[in-house]
């Protein structure tokens, strides 16, 4: 069972509040095609695409060409991301309810900050969040603690277990552990044995409906 109700929730964005795996896969595969590399399936993208681009792309494309790869990725992203953006089931209702309860809400994502804020505005969600912090908004990206510190600056408390960090991947749980927030895994599948051995979740919920009901 989870501990007492939170004072604040810090949410991951992609595939926590919005469904973007098809968009991310499309952008990666356009970039791979540009470099003559084999594409990823959506399942491979889900397994591999969790770091920010400035952390992941030098490893994928090499230190000399990662910035070129980033330009190809974002050129594709700008064309497709709003048309294909979909809220996760129950996310809007949950966010509205949490704000009506007076809870502090923020976003910490490894998507670029300007794109995050455009997407939040497109969905009509900007007013739900005190801070929306993305990649390169701080000196280091998630799982470093920097973006969480930025996200919580106006709150006047935390990070500690009164702040729930809610995300769908291992890097979200690692970030929660790195900051002292309560790590909450949100995804359809429960954790596999030893899947998150280094950074385990405090608890797991299947979706936004379940999280809202729990709170």
pLDDT the model gives residue 167: 98
pLDDT the model gives residue 56: 93
User: Residue 46 and residue 48: Cα distance in Å, rounded?
Assistant: 6
Angle 160-165-170 from CA coordinates, rounded to 5°: 120
pLDDT the model gives residue 81: 83
User: Residue 135 and residue 124: Cα distance in Å, rounded?
Assistant: 21
Residue listed under structure tokens 């990666």: 28
pLDDT the model gives residue 3: 67
Q: Consecutive sets of 10 residues in the chain, 215 residues long: mean pLDDT of each? A: 83 94 92 97 89 92 96 92 91 97 97 93 97 96 97 92 96 97 96 93 96 94
| Nearest partner of 5 among 212, 185, 215, judged by Cα | 215
User: Residue 168 and residue 91: Cα distance in Å, rounded?
Assistant: 14
pLDDT the model gives residue 21: 85
pLDDT the model gives residue 2: 58
Residue 83: Cβ-neighbour burial (10 angstroms; 0-12, 13-18, 19+)? exposed
Characterize 34-52 residue by residue with b for buried, 16 or more Cβ atoms within 10 angstroms of its Cβ, and e for exposed.
beeeeebeeeebbeebbbb
User: Residue 132 and residue 145: Cα distance in Å, rounded?
Assistant: 15
């Amino acid at each position: 069972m989870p501990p007492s109700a939170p004072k604040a929730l810090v949410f991951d964005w992609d595939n926590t509040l919005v469904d973007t795996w098809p968009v991310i896969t499309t952008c990666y595969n356009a970039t791979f095609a540009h470099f003559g590399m084999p594409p990823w399936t959506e399942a491979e993208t889900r397994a591999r695409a969790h770091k920010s681009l400035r952390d992941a792309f030098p490893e994928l494309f090499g230190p000399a060409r990662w910035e070129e790869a980033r330009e190809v990725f974002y050129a594709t992203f700008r064309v497709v991301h709003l048309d294909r953006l979909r809220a996760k089931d129950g996310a809007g209702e949950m966010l509205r309810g949490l704000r009506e309860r007076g809870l502090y809400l923020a976003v910490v994502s490894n998507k670029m900050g300007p794109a995050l804020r455009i997407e939040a505005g497109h969905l009509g969600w900007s007013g739900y969040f005190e801070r929306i912090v993305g990649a390169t908004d701080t000196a280091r990206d998630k799982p470093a603690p920097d973006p969480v510190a930025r996200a919580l600056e106006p709150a006047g408390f935390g990070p500690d277990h009164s702040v729930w960090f809610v995300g769908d991947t291992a890097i979200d749980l690692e970030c929660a552990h790195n900051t002292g927030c309560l790590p909450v895994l949100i995804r359809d599948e429960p954790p596999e044995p030893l899947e998150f051995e280094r950074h385990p979740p405090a608890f797991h919920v299947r979706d936004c409906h379940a999280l809202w009901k729990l709170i």
